[in-house]
Amino acid sequence: MISTHDEFDVVVIGGGPGGSSTAGLLAKRNHRVLVLEREKFPRYHIGESLITGSMPTLDELGLRSRLDQMGFVKKYGGTLLWGKNQGTWDFRFAEAANYEHTYQVRRADFDAVLLARARELGATVLEEATVKHFLFEGERIAGVTYTVKGDPEPRTARCRLLVDASGQQHVLARHFDLVEYHEDLRNIAVWSYFQGCKRYGGTRAGDTVTENRPNGWFWFIPLHDGTVSVGYVTPIEEYKKSGKSLEELFTSELAAAEEVRALTEGATRAAAFRSIRDWSYTCSRFHGPGWALVGDAAAFIDPLLSTGVGLALRGSRGLAGAVDAALRDPSCEEQVLARYEKEYRAFLNSLLAFVRFFYDRTRHKEEYWEKAQELLDPRRLRPRKIDFATMLSGVSGVHDIFHTD
């Protein structure tokens, strides 16, 4: 039972993919971990399309067979209508990595499985728990005070290290004023779910379809419950100039689209519209005395390449290794967390450079392949199309990302 004053090796703020994975991996290493999750799971979240860079973490957590049993759509790659008058083209994950597929997931189900797995591995997980204050010893964070819904008494949890995985709530980043938005990627997205859509055949049935429009782009993500997530992303300024509501803008752009319009023709919208804005940012620091950031709490680089959950899962695996090392030898804390941040930032920077290049929709697909090769494989040791698949799979980058051995 948790007392009103308790001590842990690690307190993790947030039970989404980054938080639950970090907590589970640290509990698996026999550390005492507390997860404080503000909501009650399962809960809705956008970001249904995974990349194969997520798979090593899911394997280490022992979740692959469970995800297969849940019937999630298997995603073997992606189909794009993007660039200069070339029709649709695609990539396959098998071209780039040992993993030939990943999953399209309903995040309510997927996130709940990850949080449950953290519990199974030994982490203490409190839902509907809200962090109120940070405890400091000098400049070092030493714990938090928090409240649990229905409990009138605030509680204190002291820890040797605090991990902020609070996503776009940015609990620590707001406290330290660390969030830096990428002004050229200030976008807004509007989406809903459709039933009765057409699907591709064979291994393309689970593809994310990405289609460019003159002032934005569509995603089309097939899910295992028979619905498809369909969203439109555009710069906030373009939305304002349109003079339309988000629902009107979505409808007019879908009517003018090609591939996504054909796939949704005759389908029924099965849910209300949702929206979100200001998606791209990076924090100026990812760690400090007694704390570290992971997942969306550290950075988010545009939804274009479906890297959100992948970055959280890859980051959690690297951070768990760094935190484990710091807990076993406190003298190396700064060194291992600095390395984690350096490698995380290197990958984010290469990803950001590629996203900015990719948003130029006047290019041929071969130019996108060449840009991926420039960033990942400057010695041209692999075919450029393989480097493109590698970039979109999230399995590699400029450095051996998150390697902490």
Tell me if 104 sits within 8 A of 49, measured CB to CB. Answer: yes
Split at pLDDT 50, 70, 90, the class of 3 is: low
Q: Which residues belong to CATH 3.30.9.100 in the chain? A: 184-277
Distances (CA, A) of 376 to 90, 351, 354, 396: 19, 10, 10, 8
Section 36-45 average pLDDT: 97
What pLDDT is stored for residue 227 in this prediction? 98
335 pLDDT higher than 60: yes
| Cα distance between residue 299 and residue 293, in whole Å | 9
403 pLDDT higher than 60: no
Section 324-346 average pLDDT: 96
Count of CA atoms in the C-beta half-sphere (13 A) of 53: 29
Determine what percent of the chain is predicted with pLDDT higher than 70. 96
The CATH homologous superfamily of the domain defined by 5-74+99-180+280-393:
FAD/NAD(P)-binding domain (3.50.50.60)
78 pLDDT higher than 90: yes
Q: What is the mean pLDDT of the chain?
A: 94
What pLDDT is stored for residue 396 in this prediction? 59
What pLDDT is stored for residue 85 in this prediction? 72
Beta bridge partners of 181: 281
Split at pLDDT 50, 70, 90, the class of 98 is: confident
83 pLDDT higher than 50: yes
5 pLDDT higher than 80: no
Split at pLDDT 50, 70, 90, the class of 397 is: very low
399 pLDDT higher than 50: no
| Cα distance between residue 5 and residue 143, in whole Å | 10
Split at pLDDT 50, 70, 90, the class of 1 is: low
Q: In a 10 Å sphere around its CB, with 0-12 CB exposed, 13-18 middle and 19+ buried, how is residue 265 labelled?
A: exposed
Cα angle vertex 82, ends 77, 88, to 5°? 60
Section 151-173 average pLDDT: 96
398 pLDDT higher than 60: no
The rounded Cα 189 to chain-centroid distance in angstroms is 16
What pLDDT is stored for residue 216 in this prediction? 96
Render pLDDT for 231-272 as a digit per residue (tens, 0 to 9): 999 999 999 999 999 999 999 999 999 999 999 999 999 999
What pLDDT is stored for residue 394 in this prediction? 83
Pairing mode, strands 179-181 and 268-269: unpaired
Render pLDDT for 303-328 as a digit per residue (tens, 0 to 9): 888 888 999 999 999 999 999 999 99
Q: Which fold has domain 184-277?
A: D-Amino Acid Oxidase; Chain A, domain 2 (3.30.9)
Section 289-299 average pLDDT: 97
Tell me if 182 sits within 8 A of 279, measured CB to CB. Answer: no
Q: Is 368 helix (H, G, I), strand (E, B) or coil?
A: helix
pTM of the model: 0.95
CB burial of 309-347 (b: ≥16 within 10 Å; e: otherwise) equals: bbbbbbbbbbbbbbbbbbbeeeeebeebbebbbebbbeb
Max Cα–Cα distance, the chain, nearest Å: 64
402 pLDDT higher than 50: no
Q: Which residues belong to CATH 3.50.50.60 in the chain? A: 5-74+99-180+280-393
Full DSSP string of 52-81: GGGHHHHHHTT-HHHHHHTTPEEE-EEEEE
What pLDDT is stored for residue 405 in this prediction? 46
Render pLDDT for 199-234 as a digit per residue (tens, 0 to 9): 999 999 999 999 999 999 999 999 999 999 999 999
What type of residue is 359? Y
Cα angle vertex 225, ends 199, 221, to 5°? 45
